[in-house]
């Protein structure tokens, strides 16, 4: 504690949930104080050095908590605000070593952003095996109750590091398991198929999706000519593109996304039998999305929406969870399942035909402490495998096995990125890789080669009895070298049609709207017409409706339409889900039923959700009584921030509502409720959100033209009863009947 503070002052200064006093709010401390203790949920997994020892790098993690500012070499500094000058108004001297060090380091603070998946957010957690995979996989971390530290990074694909979170795009879902047998990375997406079947085309699809090279627009989106030019010419992208145009392209939260390994992998059990599998992550909160208008508004209102949502949920103890599951297929030479080519990454196997079997639970329970050190520097690689998990000959996967290692060398500045704390394995490392840029280990010994006698022959090679990684001896058919794909890879439309037929009417409506939006953003008529030809091969109704929105006529299909059994598992609608961490806006003003607001706030908290009080001005709603803190004002809040609204009164137009003032300029005085609140209610209604109100607040619903007995409207009873009804409605995510149901 500083000298200036008395203990009474300090007690006043304590923040809920943060132990210990804060320094005085305005003035800078003049003597060293103890740093604030880290928050309990911010401890990441411990890391060890390549030699298993704690290193100076670990000590450097607490760099800023020392008493005195120093140079990078540890020399204490008396001043960091004034350059060394010849007199107060004179020239700055070149000899100012502190100025040069500080600026030089700053000049090199950035590293190249990822060439794809540049925008991301991550968290630490624990994976717990169920012991259910033993029959197919010997990996130790899948055994019952084994707990493995993990680090998970979610991302968008196309946008730059500073782009918005809620753009229409695929999301990355990359998990690093720090297992005792080495690190396993499951580098997946929230969409189970990919645009291309061969890695050789990856630069093409990414160049087409990235902003136009001449003026670098548009940022972080597919709604432009080059993307649609490519995917309409290259029809193996049809399935992935259709998923992007569906609600999957605009998730409500990282916490509410599925994850997929996409490729088929090969698992091996303790007696060396192999099976083919597809990996799935199933979120405990269900799979939910934004609606497009919401997603666009959020991009402006809160471009960090998903990042904030993940961080806040973990901070508040609403730890997101996913079950890891596998679909298991026999490892036959054909590598197909019921006619579906398992090596084709544009194909799924419907869950109804091969159920997903849960094998473990992932819980994200700690936020990062330093974005750059952890989220930016983490390096995933599909080739980081552990005994029991092997790859297949999916040609897309083969290219990835090369690319991920290669890209880190330029992104992280050399081949030693594995020594960066977040990338260090938790298993002991005993390699003979030496030197190179940013080598931070001090290797001893003279014989980093094998065989050797000078270092006692160490290290020795392991056999399978000592958990060595042994590639499965899969038979490779005798063949000629060719640049070809299997015939089954040319079926580009049967599975997009399966997806379309599995969607409910509101979901189809969203898909039609998404294609119509994106293509209307294109300038080239030929691109639009060619895309309609692709859509005709999925479904005539889809094609006709999009054509109508473009003002074009719908072409006929050029392939026979295959109608297979729909897969209900592909739809996001139906079921009820936990509402943990959902955000409820409580709209009130000082004249509202404030006891009702208090009860509602508590009921929302008790339900594991987040109440945010929205009022005309900041501070407290009831400064004289028991305070009710205001988190948002009418000027700062928009409906898109909330999953549901609670109305506690009829706020009159505040002085800052345009036109509300009795202006000298003669602007009309607004009558009735504050227009911003009416807008909020009508937006929330249009987006299918639950809305509740009690006492006279129900008038607001009537003024907005909303029926009190409609589904998703809770207007009956006390504030606590309203919260209960609203929570039940929120369990279904949206009031789906508000969306067109004609399709």
Please give the residue ranges that form the binding site for ligand HDE (CB under 6 A).
Answer: 114-117, 120, 153, 155, 172, 174, 187-189, 194, 199, 202, 262, 378-380, 396, 399-400, 403-404, 407
What is the CB neighbour count within 10 angstroms for residue 414?
13
Please state the closest distance from residue 155 (CB atom) to ligand HDE, in A: 5
* Complex with ligand HDE: residue 49 or 264, whichever CB lies closer: 264
Contacts of 370 (CB under 8 A, 6+ apart): none
* Complex with ligand HDE: residue 267 or 614, whichever CB lies closer: 267
Residue 225: which H helix or E strand, with range? Answer: helix 225-233
* Complex with ligand HDE: residue 384 or 733, whichever CB lies closer: 384
DSSP 3-state assignment of 171?
A: strand
Please state the closest distance from residue 205 (CB atom) to ligand HDE, in A: 8
Which residue out of 105, 124, 189, 367 is catalytically annotated? 189
Which residue lies nearest ligand HDE, judged by its C-beta? Answer: 172
Please state the closest distance from residue 538 (CB atom) to ligand HDE, in A: 22
* Complex with ligand HDE: residue 281 or 739, whichever CB lies closer: 281
Q: How far apart are CA 53 and CA 66, in angstroms?
A: 23
Q: Is the peptide bond before 645 cis (omega within 30 degrees of 0)?
A: no
For residue 628, which of 604, 660, 650, 652 has the smallest C-alpha distance? 604
* Complex with ligand HDE: residue 174 or 527, whichever CB lies closer: 174
Q: How far is CA 36 from CA 18, 65, 312, 403, 480, in A?
A: 9, 9, 20, 42, 66
Q: How far apart are CA 293 and CA 665, in angstroms?
A: 35
Catalytic status, residue 117: yes
Please state the closest distance from residue 38 (CB atom) to ligand HDE, in A: 25
Catalytic status, residue 452: no
- Give me the sign of the Cα torsion angle 226, 227, 233, 234: positive
Q: How far apart are CA 687 and CA 384, in angstroms?
A: 42
Q: How far apart are CA 141 and CA 696, in angstroms?
A: 57
* Complex with ligand HDE: residue 376 or 732, whichever CB lies closer: 376
For residue 165, which of 313, 290, 15 has the smallest C-alpha distance? 290
* Complex with ligand HDE: residue 115 or 432, whichever CB lies closer: 115
Give Dmax over CA atoms of the chain in angstroms: 95
Please state the closest distance from residue 113 (CB atom) to ligand HDE, in A: 9
For residue 237, which of 274, 265, 209, 266 has the smallest C-alpha distance? 209
Please state the closest distance from residue 244 (CB atom) to ligand HDE, in A: 13
Please state the closest distance from residue 410 (CB atom) to ligand HDE, in A: 10
Please state the closest distance from residue 380 (CB atom) to ligand HDE, in A: 4
Residue 543: which H helix or E strand, with range? Answer: helix 540-550
Which residue out of 117, 288, 492, 733 is catalytically annotated? 117
DSSP 3-state assignment of 224?
A: coil
Please state the closest distance from residue 411 (CB atom) to ligand HDE, in A: 7
Please state the closest distance from residue 106 (CB atom) to ligand HDE, in A: 25
What tokens were used for 738? 């508000």
What tokens were used for 415? 């081949």
* Complex with ligand HDE: residue 374 or 580, whichever CB lies closer: 374
Q: How far apart are CA 211 and CA 216, in angstroms?
A: 5
Find out whether 121 and 375 touch, Cβ atoms under 8 Å: yes
* Complex with ligand HDE: residue 397 or 722, whichever CB lies closer: 397
Q: How far apart are CA 23 and CA 35, in angstroms?
A: 10
Please state the closest distance from residue 378 (CB atom) to ligand HDE, in A: 6
Contacts of 252 (CB under 8 A, 6+ apart): 288, 289, 290, 643, 733
- Give me the sign of the Cα torsion angle 734, 735, 736, 741: negative
* Complex with ligand HDE: residue 405 or 617, whichever CB lies closer: 405
The burial of 419, by beta-carbon neighbours within 10 Å (0-12 exposed, 13-18 middle, 19 or more buried), is given as buried
**73-102 per-residue burial string, b: 16 or more CB within 10 A, e: under 16:** eeeeeeeeeeeeeeeeeeeeeeeeebbeeb
For residue 386, which of 188, 180, 187 has the smallest C-alpha distance? 180
The burial of 504, by beta-carbon neighbours within 10 Å (0-12 exposed, 13-18 middle, 19 or more buried), is given as middle
In 81-130, DSSP assigns E strands to 120-129
- Give me the sign of the Cα torsion angle 151, 156, 161, 164: negative
Q: Which residue has the tokens 């299997």?
A: 486
* Complex with ligand HDE: residue 153 or 168, whichever CB lies closer: 153
Please state the closest distance from residue 628 (CB atom) to ligand HDE, in A: 41
**Pairing relationship of beta strands 690-693 and 644-647 according to DSSP bridges:** parallel
* Complex with ligand HDE: residue 172 or 616, whichever CB lies closer: 172
- Angle of helix 292-301 relative to helix 505-520, nearest 10 degrees, comes to 60
Please state the closest distance from residue 123 (CB atom) to ligand HDE, in A: 12
* Complex with ligand HDE: residue 77 or 111, whichever CB lies closer: 111
The burial of 472, by beta-carbon neighbours within 10 Å (0-12 exposed, 13-18 middle, 19 or more buried), is given as middle
Q: How far apart are CA 451 and CA 178, in angstroms?
A: 29
What is the CB neighbour count within 10 angstroms for residue 460?
10
Active site residues: 117, 189
């Amino acid at each position: 504690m500083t000298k200036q503070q008395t203990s009474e002052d300090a007690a006043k200064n304590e923040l809920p949930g943060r132990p210990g006093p804060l320094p005085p709010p305005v003035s800078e401390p003049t003597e060293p104080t103890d740093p604030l203790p880290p928050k309990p949920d911010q401890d990441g997994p411990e890391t060890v050095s390549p030699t298993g020892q704690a290193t100076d790098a670990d000590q450097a993690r607490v760099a800023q908590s020392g008493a005195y500012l120093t140079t990078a070499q540890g020399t204490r500094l008396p001043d960091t605000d004034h350059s060394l000058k010849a007199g107060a108004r004179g020239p700055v001297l070149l000899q100012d070593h502190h100025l040069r060090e500080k600026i030089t380091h700053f000049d090199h603070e950035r590293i190249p952003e990822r060439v794809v998946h540049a925008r991301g957010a991550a968290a630490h957690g624990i994976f717990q095996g169920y012991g259910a995979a033993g029959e197919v996989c010997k990996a130790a971390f899948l055994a019952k109750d084994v707990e493995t530290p993990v680090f998970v990074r979610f991302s968008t694909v196309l946008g730059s590091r500073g782009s918005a979170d809620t753009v229409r795009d695929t999301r990355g879902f990359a998990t690093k398991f720090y297992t005792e047998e080495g690190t396993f990375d499951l580098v997946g997406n929230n969409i189970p198929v990919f645009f291309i079947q061969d890695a050789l085309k990856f630069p093409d699809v990414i160049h087409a999706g990235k902003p136009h090279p001449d003026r670098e627009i548009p940022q972080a989106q597919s709604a432009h000519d080059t993307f649609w030019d490519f995917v309409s010419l290259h029809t193996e992208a049809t399935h992935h593109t259709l998923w992007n145009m569906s609600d999957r392209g605009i998730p409500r939260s990282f916490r509410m996304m599925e994850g997929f390994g996409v490729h088929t992998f090969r698992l091996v059990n303790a007696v060396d039998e192999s099976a083919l599998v597809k990996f799935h992550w199933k979120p405990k909160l269900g799979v939910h999305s934004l609606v497009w208008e919401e997603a666009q508004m959020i991009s402006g209102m809160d471009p960090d929406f998903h990042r904030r949502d993940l961080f806040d949920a973990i901070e508040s103890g609403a730890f997101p969870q996913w079950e890891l599951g596998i679909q298991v297929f026999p490892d036959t030479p054909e590598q197909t399942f019921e006619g579906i080519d398992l090596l084709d990454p544009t194909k799924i196997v419907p869950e109804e035909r091969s159920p997903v079997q849960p094998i473990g639970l992932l819980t994200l329970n700690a936020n990062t402490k330093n974005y750059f050190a952890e989220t930016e520097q983490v390096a995933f690689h599909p080739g980081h495998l552990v005994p029991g998990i092997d790859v297949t000959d999916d040609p897309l996967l083969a290219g990835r096995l090369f690319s991920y290692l290669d890209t880190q060398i330029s992104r992280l500045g050399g081949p030693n990125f594995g020594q960066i704390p977040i990338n260090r394995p938790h298993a002991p490392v005993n390699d003979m890789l030496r030197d190179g840029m940013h080598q931070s280990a001090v290797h001893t010994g003279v014989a980093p080669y094998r065989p050797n006698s000078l270092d006692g022959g160490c290290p020795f090679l392991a056999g399978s009895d000592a958990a060595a990684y042994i590639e499965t001896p899969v038979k490779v058919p005798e063949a000629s070298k060719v640049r070809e794909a299997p015939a089954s890879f040319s079926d580009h439309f049967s599975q997009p049609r399966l997806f379309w037929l599995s969607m409910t009417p509101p979901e189809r409506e969203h898909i039609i709207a998404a294609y119509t939006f994106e293509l209307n953003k294109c300038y080239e008529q030929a691109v639009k017409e060619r895309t309609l030809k692709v859509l005709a091969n999925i479904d005539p109704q889809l094609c006709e409706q999009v054509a109508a929105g473009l003002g074009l006529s719908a072409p006929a299909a050029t392939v026979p339409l295959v109608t297979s059994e729909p897969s209900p598992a592909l739809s996001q609608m139906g079921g009820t889900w936990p509402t943990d961490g959902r955000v409820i806006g409580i709209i009130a003003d000082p004249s509202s039923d404030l006891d009702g607001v208090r009860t509602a706030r508590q009921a929302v908290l008790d339900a594991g959700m987040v109440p945010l009080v929205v009022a005309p001005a900041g501070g407290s709603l009831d400064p004289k009584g028991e305070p009710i803190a205001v988190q948002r004002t009418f000027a700062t809040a928009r409906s898109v921030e909330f999953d549901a609204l609670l109305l506690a009164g009829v706020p009159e137009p505040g002085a800052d509502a345009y036109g509300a003032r009795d202006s000298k300029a003669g602007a009309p005085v607004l009558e009735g409720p504050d227009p911003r609140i009416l807008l909020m209610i009508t937006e929330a209604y249009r987006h299918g959100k639950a809305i509740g109100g009690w006492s006279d607040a129900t008038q607001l619903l009537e003024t907005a033209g909303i029926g009190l007995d409609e589904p998703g409207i809770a207007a009956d009873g006390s504030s606590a009863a309203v919260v209960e009804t609203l929570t039940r409605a929120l369990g279904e995510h949206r009031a789906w009947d508000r969306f067109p149901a004609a399709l």
